[in-house]
A = this chain, B = another copy of it.
Amino acid sequence: MPQPVPQAVVLRLPRYYRCLRELLNNDVLLVKSKELAEMMGITASQVRSDFNYFGDFGRQGYGYNVRNLYKNINAILGITDEYSAVIIGAGELGTVLAGDSMFMRRGVILRGIFDTDEEIIGREIAPDLIVRDITEFEKFCKSKKIDIAVLTKFPEYAEKLIRCGISGIWNFTGVALRNTGDATIQDIYLGDTLMTLCYNMKRNEREK
């Protein structure tokens, strides 16, 4: 039985993923835990203990095979699984996200974008992505299997999304959602990170 993975370790996985991609881009094929630790800003023993949760990927003294590590972390993160997603809300934030390549790079395929505003319905806001009327959402979901909803507006819509079979909500509305099913909800509170920045600035200032 594998051990349950602490959320703190889970939160570090995307950073490992980024560091490893950078190494691959620079044609580095072997990496020691110490080197990876430096890139990550953590200790080498932390790197080794993190990897233990996912089975041992390295050989003592030789370092880790970057390509294998990258592949394994991809699989753990579910990047190889191809999820499909829709964006709810075609305002400025929805438009920014619709044009971002991060979905594709992480194996998430954007299938549609929805809004209530008749002014923008029908508009192509990204290549092959035309804004649809939100009232068509239910029918749309029945014909295509959609896993993820990126909620940029209309938090009151979450319940309906879950009823339509959405299993993950990436929530940018700043409103805490009521999880009426067993969906996975990832809340993004950008303001939180602004506060963390201010706090760390203040601490830096004091330590000078």
Contacts and interface: CB of A to CB of B under 8 A. Distances in A.
Interface stretch (A44-52, A61-69, A102-110, A115-123): A102-110
A184 B197 contact: yes
B15 A192 contact: yes
Interface residues of A, number: 52
A14 B168 contact: no
Interface string A90-108: 0011011001101101111
A196 B10 contact: yes
Interface stretch (A28-36, A74-82, A132-140, A157-165): A74-82
A108 B191 CA distance: 11
Contacts of A8: 8
A167 B205 contact: yes
A204 interface: yes
A106 B197 CA distance: 11
A102 B190 contact: yes
Interface of A: 8, 10-11, 13-15, 17-18, 76-79, 81, 83, 92-93, 95-96, 99-100, 102-103, 105-108, 147-148, 167-168, 170, 182, 184, 186, 188-202, 204-205, 208
22 contacts: A11-B196, A13-B196, A13-B199, A14-B189, A18-B189, A76-B199, A77-B199, A81-B198, A83-B201, A92-B92, A102-B190, A105-B191, A106-B198, A167-B205, A168-B197, A168-B200, A182-B208, A184-B201, A184-B204, A186-B194, A186-B196, A186-B200
